Amino acid sequence: MPQIKTQVETLQEKVNAQIEAEITKAKETVAALKGRLCGMAEFGALSGEQQEQITRPFNEFNNAIERQKLIAVIRDTLRRFEESEYQRLLSQMTSWAQPAPAPEPAPELGGTATPDEGRKPTPPAKAESHIEYVPSRSVKVSFDKVWLANESDIDRYLESMRKALLEEIRKAKGFKYD
């Protein structure tokens, strides 16, 4: 019985060490994402309040991950943050950073012309452009080999990747490298 107790304690220590390692890895990954986001020119164009709104979810993630005791939950929480929340934050940031459309100058009234004469009809306002960020891992690269064996394979794979990335851009989506 004493041996079993010792083995259980040893196993519990190993599990706790692995949990701490997963939490540390998750925090480092999120810190890198936050650093990349905060380093973007669009982030610098935001007001202090907007910057705080963009960075708050990173802090909330760190607080939430500290309380986790299951490795699978830690990994899944990180994956969801990277695939969903981070993409949402990038879109929000770029949306806020886009300059507001310039208002049309008021027509000059005066002289003998009536207000509607000589004026072209104004086109309807453009819808606000929205950039959708696509994680690079979600871009499907069509390639016929399972592994790369030589320089020729690498060249062919890179060409396939280039075509896939250009296709995403042609779909009018912003592209984020990660």
- The pLDDT tens digits of the residues spanning 59-106 come to 999 999 999 999 999 999 999 999 889 989 988 898 888 776 655 555
Q: Is the Cβ–Cβ distance between 131 and 173 less than 8 Å?
A: yes
Q: What pLDDT is attached to residue 1? A: 80
Model pTM greater than 0.85? no
- The token pair at 135 is 């994680």
| Percentage above 70 pLDDT, the chain | 77
Question: 135: which strand partners?
Answer: 176
Q: What's the gap between Cα 95 and its chain centre?
A: 13
Q: What pLDDT is attached to residue 159? A: 94
Mean pLDDT of 115-131: 49
Q: Is 51 exposed, middle or buried (0-12, 13-18, 19+ CB in 10 A)?
A: middle
Q: If you ran DSSP here, which 8-state letter would residue 110 be given?
A: -
Domain boundaries, the chain: 1-99, 132-178
- The token pair at 105 is 């100058």
Q: What pLDDT is attached to residue 36? A: 93
pLDDT band of residue 125 (cuts 50, 70, 90) is very low
H or E element that contains 135: strand 133-135
- The pLDDT tens digits of the residues spanning 27-71 come to 999 999 999 999 999 999 999 999 999 999 999 999 999 999 999
